Amino acid sequence: MARQDHKITPGRFRDNVAAVTSSRKTLDYNGALLWLINPGMAVYHSQQIHKDIAHGNDQGAPLFCEERTGVVFSPDRMYRWVSTLTVLFIFLLLPASSRAEFRITFKDKTVVTACYWIEKSKVHLCEGGEPLALSDVSAITEGRFSSLEKEMHQDARRRFWTYMSWLLDNETGLTTEDRAVMEGLKEIDELRASTGKKKELRSLKKKYSDEIKDLIQQVTFIHKAFSGIHTPDRSLVQLSETKILQMITWTQSLQERQVYINTADPTYREYSQEHMKQVGAFQVSFMRTLSKVTGDDSRG
């Protein structure tokens, strides 16, 4: 079966890099201005832009990759660092009341941070330190923000939606391939019921077994990507959590189909079908949540 356009390729990876490189030029100025008001948020803003360019994930996810990337010093970057330190010195002269903040209620205390993101059920503060368990966070409230700081927060949300859309596009293509594999199982069953077609059956089993292996790899990648996505707002966490459960269930279904191809045991085919029903239920839940959170969210 011919591979679909959606598959993650080096060419598409380079296209994504070019796109975010173009957007970086317009954001660097805002990032520099942000140092005057909120250095913590500026560090976060700079880290996200550099992740867009450097890509810690070796499979080419365009944004919000799991792994941290190193800093390579060049004359241009050294100049920016010197400029940053100069601006930071100026910032230290500003009154503390002018700095933006989020107040995070955690167990019996309140933590104040310039900005935060959520990853793998942990709340990470832009200033660093040990992340907080999301389950222990009872409330996150916003302080006062300047128009620039509000724009930077919206930028983080737009980056989230860009990455989410990219993953959903890839998932749609994989769903199409999955349906084709399901049809392939019917062909295998027909050959099994025939006589004198062992060679054709062996060839068909290998073909669809290989395609299932490839699908498992791709679904696993999508699973890891949703697990490592940086969520800039607590209200968006349920989206990625639902997708993680959906990808786990989808992988189980594919593995059961693999066993069915090799053993012809109908029990595994039934298991696979049940898990795909659950995958559909997770998709319905995801779309319901998506409808709620996009009612008051700007997707840029």
The pLDDT tens digits of the residues spanning 2-23 come to 444 444 443 443 444 344 334 4
Q: Is 160 helix (H, G, I), strand (E, B) or coil?
A: helix
Between strands 109-113 and 102-106, the pairing is antiparallel
Nearest Cα residue to 226 out of 215, 235, 239: 239
Element housing 122 (H / E): strand 122-125
Nearest Cα residue to 296 out of 223, 210, 208, 235: 235
Residue 199, number of CB atoms within 10 A of its CB: 9
**pTM above 0.85?**
no
Give the C-alpha separation, 266 to 260, whole Å.
7
* Assigned token pair, 54: 């450097």
Q: Name the β-bridge partners of 137.
A: 106
At residue 259 the predicted structure's pLDDT band, cuts being 50, 70 and 90, is: very high
Residue 89 has a pLDDT of 52
The pLDDT tens digits of the residues spanning 273-282 come to 999 999 999 9
Residue 59 has a pLDDT of 37
HEC secondary structure over 173-206: HHHHHHHHHHHHHHHHHHHHHCCCCHHHHHHHHH
Give the C-alpha separation, 244 to 164, whole Å.
12
The pLDDT tens digits of the residues spanning 59-102 come to 333 333 333 334 344 444 554 555 455 544 544 444 444 455 78
Domain ranges of the chain: 101-143, 159-293
Best-predicted range by mean pLDDT among 143-157, 194-208, 246-260? 246-260
**What residues contact 58, with CB distance under 8 A and at least 6 apart?**
none
The pLDDT tens digits of the residues spanning 89-142 come to 544 444 444 455 788 998 888 888 888 899 988 999 988 888 999 999 989 888
